[in-house]
Amino acid sequence: MTSLDDLPLRADLRGRSPYGAPQEPVPVALNVNENTHGIPEDVAHDIVRSVAASIIGLNRYPDREFTELRRDFAAYLGSDLTEQNIWAANGSNEILQQILQAFGGPGRSLLGFAPTYSMYPLLASGTGTRWIARDRQADFELAPEYVASVIAEEKPDVVVLCAPNNPTGTPLDLETISAAYDAAPGIVIVDEAYAEFSEPGEPSALELLDGRPRLIVSRTMSKAFAFAGARVGYLAADPAITDALRLVRLPYHLSALTQAAARAALRHADEMLAVVDDIRGQRKRIANGLADLGYTPYRSGSNFVFFGGVVDTASVFRQLFERGILIRDIGIPGHMRVTAGTETETTAFLEAMSALRS
């Protein structure tokens, strides 16, 4: 049987592993930071109607510029944005890939602060961009002075800041983002995939866009909108950024079905996001419950909790799996990550963790 070793694969891809997380049919899946609450039934029906209506025109290519969707995203984000500031793609991973295709590539570099989203180095590799990983500070935090000094030392072409950070959940203040931008010679991406789960009143990097043409704020509908299966990501930036991404995007990359589904979901934004407060509450329950059991939960602005104090992560993962519960062993010794699910799912997880302690 033919293997990868038998194929003329690029040398820089040899020995690498694809991104992936266990996908097992368990009752309580809390390992990939999905919104486990699902889509409200009336919203689902409207999405189905919108997608069905778009099928009539599937013999034609979709709107290449997805203008109406970009206008809807601008209205959702506010901050005086227009469709000229917006770009969208099939998930925020494709957004990040397109950014690196335009601004990274051979001879250029991408800087991130580890531990962080594991797709960043994979996207860098896939675009021929050199990945630079620098450690985060104590408790996985980042201070403005530290970030600025690292950027000044490394001089990367692109900087990516995950805010809140995955897998640690660590929020990132605007002072740190401003310091990063001022120190960076090139593009600065703020990946706000989990922004809607931040505490009420927590500012977004969207507030910094004006006058910063090299700043990009990336978002997704996968998390708070419970739209992971639809694969819709988007960004806000200076219009010149969207012009650059037109140079690398595939023709008609957003299908008519995707555009219709996303627009329908955005029409119901308030209803789709109504569960966010509950998810924040479950996040707090998990953090408090784990602390009571002797673990060390870190502060989180996301829909998950990252915690330390695990003696044997592989054993905990296996024992939870045997109880029908899936969380994430992320490969950081002594640490694991769990999604804040429904009240029932959270209870099942905390009861199982308590049982493992007894």
210, 242, 270 - which closes a domain: 270
List the domain range (segments joined by +) for residue 325: 21-37+275-357
- Report the pLDDT averaged over residues 129-148: 98
For residues 283 and 296, give the distance between their C-alpha atoms in angstroms, rounded to a whole number: 14
What distance in Å separates the CA atoms of residue 288 and residue 3, rounded to the nearest whole number?
48
73 with 115, same domain: the answer is yes
The reply to whether 226 falls in a domain is yes
Q: What is the mean pLDDT of residues 170-186?
A: 98
Q: Is there a single domain that holds both residue 287 and residue 317?
A: yes
- Neighbouring C-beta atoms of residue 44, cutoff 10 Å: 14
Reported confidence tier of residue 5, pLDDT bands at 50, 70, 90: confident
Instruction: Note whether 102 and 202 are same-domain residues.
Output: yes
In terms of Cα–Cα distance, which of 242, 248, 255 is closest to 216?
A: 242
Q: Residue 317 CB: number of other CB atoms within 10 A? A: 19
Give pLDDT, residue 13: 84
153 & 296 share domain: no
Pairing of strands 296-297, 233-237: unpaired
Out of 241, 270, 299, a domain closes at 270
Say whether both 208 and 195 belong to one domain: yes
Number of domains in the chain: 2
CATH number of the domain where residue 264 is located: 3.40.640.10
Give domain status of residue 181, yes or no.
Answer: yes
Domain end call among 270, 304, 325: 270
Domain co-membership, 33 together with 100? no
Report yes or no on 2 lying in a domain.
no
User: Does residue 296 lie in a domain region?
Assistant: yes
**How big is the chain by its Cα radius of gyration, in Å?**
21
Same-domain check for residues 144 and 114: yes
Both 207 and 335 in one domain: the answer is: no
The encoded tokens of residue 325 equal 């519960």
Least confident segment among 5-14, 188-197, 322-331: 5-14
- Is 234 within 8 Å of 88 (Cβ atoms)? yes
Q: Is the residue at 61 inside a domain?
A: yes
Residue 28's pLDDT band (cuts 50, 70, 90) = very high
Q: What is the pLDDT of residue 6?
A: 85
Tens of pLDDT, residues 37-96: 989 999 999 999 999 999 999 999 999 999 999 999 999 999 899 999 999 999 999 999
Bridge partners, residue 189, by sequence: 160, 216
pLDDT in tens, 192-246: 999 999 999 899 999 999 999 999 999 999 999 999 999 999 999 999 999 999 9
Report yes or no on 7 lying in a domain. Answer: no
Q: Is residue 3 part of a domain?
A: no
- 27 and 45 belong to one structural domain: no
Q: How confident is the model at residue 12 (pLDDT cuts 50, 70, 90)?
A: confident
Terminal alpha carbon distance of the chain: 48
The verdict on 289 and 215 lying in the same domain is no
Q: How many helices (H) and strands (E) does the chain have?
A: 12, 12
Contact 105, 97 (CB under 8 A): no
Q: Are residues 253 and 289 in the same domain?
A: no
Q: Are residues 90 and 199 in the same domain?
A: yes
Task: Give the per-residue pLDDT at 48.
Answer: 97
15 inside domain: no
